[in-house]
Amino acid sequence: MGGQVTSGGAALSGAQVVVTEASSGAQFGSLADAQGRYTVPNLRPGRYTVQTQMIGYTSRTEADVLVSAGQTSTVDFELSSEAVSIAGLEVFASRATERKTPVAFTDVDKVQLQNQLGSRDLPLVLNTTPSVYSTQQGGGAGDARINVRGFSQRNTAVMINGVPVNDMENGWVYWSNWDGLGDAATSIQVQRGLSAVNLATPSIGGTMNVITDPTAQRPGIQAKQEFGSDAFLKTTLTGSTGEVGRLAVTGVLSRKTGDGRYLGTYTDAWSYYLASSFQANARNRIEFYVVGAPQTHGQNLYKLNAGTIDQEFARDLEGYDPAALEDFPQAPEIDGQLWSPNIGPVSRSYAEEQYASVGPETGRFQRQLDGYLQERENYFHKPQANLNWYSYFGSGLTLSTVGYYSGGDGGGSGTLGSLVWDYSYTQRFPDWDPTIERNALNDTGSRGILRSSVNSQDTWGVISKLRKDFANGLSTEVGVDWRTATIDHYRDVRDLLGGAYWLDSDDEFSGDRQTTYGDRIDYNDRNNVDWIGGHFQAEKSSRQGSVFAMVGLSQISYSYENFFVRDPNNTSETLKLESGDLSGYQIKGGAVYNLTDEWSTYTNLGYVSKVPIFDGVIDDGAGVINPDPTNETFISFEGGVTFRSLESGISFDLNAYHTNWKDRTRNQFVRNIDGQNNDGLVNLLGLDARHMGVEASAAFQPNSLFRFDAAASLGNWEYTNDVEGTYRPDEGSGEVETFNFYLEGLKVGDAPQTQFALAASVYPAAGASLQLVSKLFGNHYAEYDPFSRTDETDTAQSWQAPGYSVFDLHASYNITNLLPSSRGGDVRLFANVFNLLDQKYVQDAVDNSAFNSYDDDHDADDAEIFLGLPRSFNFGVSVRF
């Protein structure tokens, strides 16, 4: 394959050309010579996507280019020097670009998503990325979590098409809300560290940006049927017009069911996605997106002592006292599924309907799993809709604006009151039949019930960026980011468990009430979060590299109203609390220097002052406010080098990072904080942590038959000081309470600090691929609360889980050429085997469990763990017309 890259008829020397094989995702690169000509030799027959780009020019892509045996395919490009590039999402979503953006990043393309995800939660495809660790936790669909450079999801910005989706109250991400993204995504980019995302949103660990561009989809209709372990079934229908004139539309609809590996971790879900793009004229483009996933799934939320899970495995753990096995008898497998403490047997004669006030199960419904009753279920539907407008005014001036809505409702079930519990396996689980019998005989209503904790929310936002590109390679941008969210929290009666009513006394306006199905109980409050942010960025780019600087400011306010609690100063009114305006900021910059056409180096640094999350300002459980919330600060530095071979199919990235997390705070609840019988929160300040490490990734593709990939990260994340905190518990007294936390030198827990990934891929025939992936993890310190370390003699590290390795196998084969008549379509068979060797390993752990510890000395017998899921498979067929 070859061709020429020009602009205005003149050759563009140095333009980058990337050729991607459609069936395997294999990539080949070239640079245009002095005459603008490029050559990519030795391509095997098949279909390819060809993309060219050069700093200061629009990028161009040619999809579905056919390469035939014995023939040379020619693809020429004419690039515009106008910096408009209304490839909207690429502009708006702040995608990092090789040899231009000074950050560490990894791209996951559509082919990799198709071949490796296997309908798991989206973060699980990222475990081969340096310093990224994701797990399925207890195995519930949508219950995954992700950790980047030792920072949890709360300090990692997750975006869909450039719009943040982290919860505005606490920063968390609930992956069950985004179940259909794996089918709709055209790519995922993970930027580690402060990232180049030019929003006011601070991203300390990094950013994960999911792109669902309808113009990047091939036209046609696709039906995909998947099968998997534990009765997993998923049917997906996709339709896309491709670019038809000025319009492109893509829609995805899927249905997913399954039993889950643990007893009770069933999934019952739909997902949908609709996107359209309309090029109104040469200077205006409009896009619309909506994605949602109404779902219900059973949860396995409780980590357990290793002895409860598998006594043989526990006995082999270093430091596990064999005497502990007498206290932690092993739970059985039940009907081929692993035991979970969140479900228990119930008499089949108990046929009471349950209640859900919101979500996909609104109203009374039957939920009994063949003789079992679930304690913990999650149900939610939280769609997100974006309306994007990109406008070019000429002379390099571009305006990009998105208005978005994300809202919905749902909740999770649990128990309330007094139940009869079974302690056969030490960890308690509900004993339903005695509970139901006791409730039925109690003439004062149910003593214990199933409740739903409901979260109903509405989020509205607008992000707008005005960009000016100058002829000398300088670009400037100013942007605003406005968001507001209203979140209602309450509990209601889900199942009376044989009783006539539930006696609730938590509503101060109503007193004692006999409540029944759907009535609000326990708590009933509303939180509001208002956010306004702005940023200014300047960047100077050339073929030799780029330099940029960015300043972002944000102002946040929180308010709270409790509908069950009276205002102490006006007992006829509800309790209301307001934080006032809280301000944060970030400053970051970086530079790239392209040493040669193959070698490039970069550096970046930044300072972030981050406003506390809602719970750090207002405790909506106790109904108290922190009068003086304090920002946490982050100081980060990073540098790296990249290599992209023009001819030998080799790429290499190496970088080092250093991030200081300063003034991590603890909020202490204090009674009578002002001497006027009012309670409140105070800050205990000064805890510092250092996250530093080295990351590397490499790829080698010697020919069109083989490819090898590797990634590695070595981290050193630890707390760097002991902390003393003081406060006056009673304003009217002279007493001062002192807290000391002994943390210096303790490692940060909750993710492996050493990670390796190796992948070997073979493409034995056109349309066929086979890949073996090995992931190795070590130096994994169990999670713990650093503010629990109040004993100066307790200096031991948290329990270190044993290192482990896992192998996954991915296979795909496009059999279209073997069919008598494909009529322009294609048929792909695929299969995935996860944990190929069926290894038993600890993927998540908590040190010195408050519920299942043996002797509290940070050994294996004191930890609660989730084991990694056993070997599982996913296979299916995809047919496209």
Q: Summarize pLDDT for 354-394 with one digit per residue, the tens.
A: 888 776 777 777 665 678 999 999 999 999 999 999 888 88
Determine the average pLDDT of the residues in 325-348: 92
**Which band of pLDDT confidence, cut at 50, 70 and 90, is reported for residue 91?**
very low
Determine the average pLDDT of the residues in 480-505: 96
Q: Which residues contact 639 (CB under 8 A, 6 or more apart)?
A: 601, 602, 603, 604, 655, 656
DSSP character string of 570-586: EEEEEEEEEEEEEEEEE
> Which CATH number, 3.30.465.10, 2.60.40.1120, 1.10.3720.10, 3.30.590.10, labels domain 1-81?
2.60.40.1120
Q: What is the CATH number of domain 267-880?
A: 2.40.170.20
- pLDDT surpasses 60 at 678: yes
Residue 765 has a CB neighbour count (10 Å cut-off) of 12
**Which band of pLDDT confidence, cut at 50, 70 and 90, is reported for residue 57?**
low
- pLDDT surpasses 70 at 783: yes
- pLDDT surpasses 70 at 54: no
Q: What is the mean pLDDT of the chain?
A: 88
Residues 116, 122: Cα–Cα separation, whole Å: 10
- pLDDT surpasses 60 at 1: yes
**Which band of pLDDT confidence, cut at 50, 70 and 90, is reported for residue 470?**
confident
Share of the chain above pLDDT 70, in %: 91
Q: What is the pLDDT of residue 353?
A: 85
Q: What is the pLDDT of residue 593?
A: 96
Which of 93-102, 332-341, 686-695 comes out lowest in average pLDDT? 93-102
Q: What is the pLDDT of residue 578?
A: 96
**Which band of pLDDT confidence, cut at 50, 70 and 90, is reported for residue 751?**
very high
- pLDDT surpasses 70 at 198: no
- pLDDT surpasses 60 at 776: yes
Q: In this predicted model, which residue has the larger pLDDT, 337 or 835?
A: 835
Q: What is the pLDDT of residue 82?
A: 40
Buried b (16+ CB within 10 A) or exposed e, 206-226: bbbbbbbbbbbbbbeebebeb
- pLDDT surpasses 90 at 265: yes
Buried b (16+ CB within 10 A) or exposed e, 525-563: bbbbbbbbbbbebbbbbebebbebebebbbbbbbbbbbb
Q: What is the pLDDT of residue 73?
A: 81
Residues 799, 802: Cα–Cα separation, whole Å: 9
Determine the average pLDDT of the residues in 140-163: 91
Q: Which residues contact 31 (CB under 8 A, 6 or more apart)?
A: 14, 15, 16, 17, 38, 597, 646
Q: Which residue has the tokens 């005497």?
A: 323
Determine the average pLDDT of the residues in 814-839: 83
Q: In this predicted model, which residue has the larger pLDDT, 199 or 371?
A: 371
Q: In this predicted model, which residue has the larger pLDDT, 287 or 754?
A: 754
Q: What is the pLDDT of residue 84?
A: 36
Q: What is the pLDDT of residue 29?
A: 67
Q: What is the pLDDT of residue 823?
A: 58
**Which band of pLDDT confidence, cut at 50, 70 and 90, is reported for residue 94?**
low
Determine the average pLDDT of the residues in 639-655: 89
Assess contact for 92 and 402: CB atoms under 8 A.
yes
**Which band of pLDDT confidence, cut at 50, 70 and 90, is reported for residue 86?**
very low
162, 632, 708: which is closest to 402 by C-alpha?
162
Residues 863, 87: Cα–Cα separation, whole Å: 50
Q: What is the pLDDT of residue 185?
A: 86
Q: What is the pLDDT of residue 51?
A: 83
- pLDDT surpasses 80 at 696: yes
Determine the average pLDDT of the residues in 497-521: 95
- pLDDT surpasses 50 at 701: yes
Q: What is the pLDDT of residue 212?
A: 82
- pLDDT surpasses 90 at 340: yes
Q: What is the pLDDT of residue 826?
A: 85
C-alpha dist (Å) from residue 464 to 285, 286, 303, 656, 674: 15, 14, 43, 33, 43
C-alpha dist (Å) from residue 453 to 420, 525, 786: 21, 12, 28
C-alpha dist (Å) from residue 779 to 123, 137, 367: 21, 18, 42
Determine the average pLDDT of the residues in 426-432: 93
**Domain extent listing, the chain:** 1-81, 267-880
DSSP assignment, residue 597?
S
Q: What is the pLDDT of residue 820?
A: 65
Q: What is the pLDDT of residue 74?
A: 84
Q: What is the pLDDT of residue 395?
A: 84
**Which band of pLDDT confidence, cut at 50, 70 and 90, is reported for residue 87?**
very low
